[in-house]
Structure 1
Amino acid sequence: METFTVFALLLVILSVTTPAVKGKYYSGSHIVDVPTTIKQTHLHFFLHDTLSGDNPSAVLITKPNSKVIKENNPIIPFGSIFAFDDPLTVGSDPKSKVIGTARGLYASISRGSDLTLLFTGDLEFTSGEFNGSAIIVSCRDPMVLVKEMAVVGGRGKFKMAKGFVKNTAVYFNTTNGDAILEWHVTVFHP
């Protein structure tokens, strides 16, 4: 009985003297030096998305089952996911000067007749003033000739960028899905 009493007393003492472990989900807030001026930069280039041929710049990763394809037979059926590594050029001609690459994913997210993609891409510039910098675009992409998309971030000179894209299809092949898109981008960045 005496051993039990000593053990119980020891247990009570340890539980009272052991500090409680407190975890937190943040590291605290502090003041940061944010630039007081914001730059506005306009970019203009062309994106070449090629699904056809021996050297496509976009490839199918997964597609829905055959039942979905038979019921709704667009170029990109609902549920299809593609990876892309598209060239960015100064002109609409695929042989014009390459100034960067667009890399990312797009997925068909509409079950209806309004073909809509979810576009997420990192557009990195490989020449000129913005060499090594990138804008990040992530947005719903309705398959219409003219659309607006969101710039949600960036890297390099476009770190912490926000902005928008006016995107126009200058070429779209309804049979194989190949497209050339003209991008007018307005970026706000430090």
Structure 2
Amino acid sequence: MAAAAVLPLLLLLAAASPASAVAGGDKQTHIKLYWHDVLSGASPTAVRVASAAVTNTSKTSFGAVVVIDDPLTEGPDLNSSTTPLGRAQGTYISAGKDEVALLMNMNFVFQAGAYNGSTVAIMGRNPVFDSVREMAVVGGTGVFRMARGYAQARTHTLDLNTGDATVEYNLYINH
């Protein structure tokens, strides 16, 4: 096949791929999803498991350790027919003494769709009241083995009475 005929075919294949190629032969994948942190009700998905003596009098809950198993969905409404994609499993720690800032340590465990059976590991500082927070993608399994990149979080909804939150995550993953 002539070189002039191969180029359009390669461009067509690249456009149809869910992940685009980046330097070094890696793929880059962008995933937008919603993380639902439910602290209230009969079936919470986030539970405080430890705290320091100062935690209850701290304006930032400094020292609280929370374990999560939060639903991940395609859309922002947890109670609609939005497609469940998986779970965010891990911990977050209130690590800011003077500002609400969490240390996030979680795995996004994909249980449906093209990434079913794969995980993405996310770790970093989350200053909760900033409009956009950026954390590191530090690894992954399955499709995302050897992943690196970043996650951007934007609060979609936050109930200050219950602590329940829905956060939009945009993952930019090189793998």
Whether TM-score is above 0.5 comes out as yes
Residues 133 and 174 (structure 1 numbering): CA distance in 2 closer, same or farther, change over 3 Å? same
Structure 2 residue corresponding to 1:108, chosen from 90, 94, 98: 94
Is 1:57 the equivalent of 2:41?
Answer: no
Report the equivalent of 1:137.
Answer: 122
Please state how far the C-alpha of 1:69 moved relative to its aligned partner. Answer: 2.3
> What percentage of aligned pairs have identical amino acids?
36
Structure 2 residue corresponding to 1:85, chosen from 62, 69, 80: 69
SS of match in other structure, 1:181: strand
- Partners in 2 of 1:141 and 1:147 — Cα distance? 6
Report the equivalent of 2:110.
Answer: 125
SS of match in other structure, 2:76: coil
One-letter amino acid matched to 1:131: N
One-letter amino acid matched to 1:181: V
Give CA-to-partner distance per residue, 1:93-136, whole Å, 9 cap, x none.
Answer: 00321111100000011111x11110000101111111000100
Report the equivalent of 2:171.
Answer: 185
Runs of 4+ in 1 over 2 A off after TM superposition: 67-70
Is 1:165 the equivalent of 2:151?
Answer: yes
Residues 161 and 68 (structure 1 numbering): CA distance in 2 closer, same or farther, change over 3 Å? closer
SS of match in other structure, 1:167: strand
Please state how far the C-alpha of 1:175 moved relative to its aligned partner. Answer: 1.9
Q: Which has the larger radius of gyration?
A: 1
Unaligned residue ranges in structure 1 (runs of 5+): 1-35
Tell me the number of residue pairs that the alignment of Structure 1 and Structure 2 aligns: 149
Residues 168 and 68 (structure 1 numbering): CA distance in 2 closer, same or farther, change over 3 Å? closer
Q: CA RMSD for the aligned pairs?
A: 1.2
Alignment of 1:26-37 (within 5 A): 36-37=24-25
TM-score, normalised with respect to structure 1: 0.75
- Partners in 2 of 1:68 and 1:58 — Cα distance? 17
Alignment of 1:145-164 (within 5 A): 145-164=131-150
Report the equivalent of 1:33.
Answer: none
TM-score, normalised with respect to structure 2: 0.82
Report the equivalent of 2:26.
Answer: 38
